[in-house]
Amino acid sequence: MTGIMAAVAGSSKRLNLGTGWYNQGTGAVDVSPIQENLTATFAQESGTYTWVGYLRVATSGSYTMGIQTTKTENGTTGSTSTGQFWIGNNAITPTGTANIITNNSSGTYAISLTQGLYYPCRFVWNFSLQYNFFFGTGAEGLGTFRVNGSTDVTGLIFYNQATNGF
C-alpha cells in the first residue's frame, strides 16, 4: 500500500501508507488496539500522547467512533485523564471543537463514511497521574480508541510513512 493516490475528504493527496496509527508521543507505530495504559511509579507521570492516521472503511455506512480516558487514583488525588478526537479535515491541524471530548469518561461520535476514502483522524490523550510516596502507590490511566465498539482496528487505520503523520 505504498505510493497510492487516495481521496481524502473530497480531495486527492499522495499517501505512502503503513498499517496503524503513528503515535507522536512515543514515536512508534501502534497497530491494534489503539490503547495505552500507564501507572505512576516512583514519581508523577504526565504528558500527552497524540495518535494520527487515516481511517478507511471497507463498506459505506454509519460508524461510531469512540474514545475512553480514565484514571484510577490508588491512594492518590489530583490525577487527570482527558481526551479529544477529531475526524475529517479538522484532524490534520486540530482546529475547532473536537468531535469527541472526554474527561475521565467515554464518548462517542456517529458519522457516515464512504468506502475507500481515507479520513484523517487524531486522538489526543492528556494525562497527569499522581504518585503517593507515603503509600508507595500510583494512579493508573487509560486512553483507548474504538470503532463500532471494538478496539480491534486492524485493516482500518493507516498512517503516512513519509511524514509519520498526514
Quick one: three-class SS letters along 46-81?
EEEEEEEEEECCCCCEEEEEEEEEEEECCCCCCCEE
Nearest to 104 by CA among 71, 143, 139: 71
Distance CA 60, CA 62 (A): 7
Task: Give the domain extent around 73.
Answer: 4-160
* Assigned domain for 166 exists: no
* Assigned domain for 133 exists: yes
* Assigned domain for 132 exists: yes
Q: What cell numbers appear for 101 in the block? A: 471530548
* Assigned domain for 59 exists: yes
Residue 41 belongs to domain with CATH number: 2.60.120.1560
What is the sign of the dihedral through the CA atoms of 54, 58, 61 and 62? negative
Q: Please report the pLDDT score of residue 13 as a whole number.
A: 54
Nearest to 119 by CA among 93, 91, 148: 91
* Assigned domain for 165 exists: no
* Assigned domain for 54 exists: yes
* Assigned domain for 134 exists: yes
* Assigned domain for 95 exists: yes
Q: Count the domains in the chain.
A: 1
pTM: 0.86
Q: Please report the pLDDT score of residue 5 as a whole number.
A: 35
Instruction: For the chain, 166 residues long, give each residue's pLDDT as a single digit of tens.
Output: 333 334 444 444 556 788 888 888 788 887 777 788 888 888 899 999 999 999 999 999 999 999 999 999 999 999 999 999 999 989 998 888 999 999 999 999 999 999 999 999 999 999 999 999 888 899 999 999 999 999 888 889 888 888 887 7
Distance CA 86, CA 101 (A): 9
Distance CA 50, CA 30 (A): 11
